[in-house]
Amino acid sequence: MTRPETSPSTIRPPRFSRRRHVAATTAALLLAATFWSAGGARAAANDAEARTIFERFIVAQNAHDADAVKAMLLNSPGTLLFARGIETRGRDDVAARFKTYYEGTWHLEPDMSKFHVAVLSNEVMQILVPIVFTRALPGKPPQQNTFLISQTYVRDATGWHVASIMPVANTELK
């Protein structure tokens, strides 16, 4: 059995009518515009959500409310606080560490004009914000230091939670 020879010049793509082509192009553009505008709205919503979570976290910290802080932490053995060169893991241990901070002077003042959110997925966001820490051990004079704080938020079935907290000494965002 012999096959007829084909070459690029003899192969023709199926012909679409001009109307079908315009309809397909319009549908693709409409679909792209829908996803593009929804993406912007989703990013704005996540920015607002991240700000709300962070502001609640700061209020709980400044109130020295370890239970409220604990409720905001991700219930996972991987939840991380890395501060003062010490790694603390797990929701209970992180909350207990904050509770020890509250025994002395502990007050946070974030610079919300430099608050940044990176949306990594629908379930993960990361924030960066400089914070002035006023802190001291019990009975000692308070000191102020500025750190760039990185927090990672994870959404689970019950909402957004703080999964990691890491202060960085260099506070310059470039």
Work out the burial of residue 44: count CB atoms within 10 Å of its CB; fewer than 13 is exposed, 13-18 middle, 19 or more buried.
exposed
Encode pLDDT of 108-161 as tens digits. Answer: 999 999 999 999 998 999 999 999 999 999 999 999 999 999 999 999 999 999
Give the model's pLDDT for residue 19: 56
Work out the burial of residue 91: count CB atoms within 10 Å of its CB; fewer than 13 is exposed, 13-18 middle, 19 or more buried.
buried
Q: Domains of the chain by range and CATH?
A: 18-168 (3.10.450.50)
Give the model's pLDDT for residue 37: 41
Q: Is residue 35 very low, low, confident or very high in pLDDT (cuts 50, 70, 90)?
A: very low
CA–CA dist 149, 130 (Å, integer): 6
Encode pLDDT of 40-82 as tens digits. Answer: 445 555 788 999 999 999 999 999 999 999 999 999 999 999 9
This prediction has a pTM of: 0.72
Encode pLDDT of 151-163 as tens digits. Answer: 999 999 999 999 9
Give the model's pLDDT for residue 29: 44
Q: Residue 12 above 90 pLDDT?
A: no
Compute the C-alpha angle 69/70/71, nearest 5°. Answer: 90
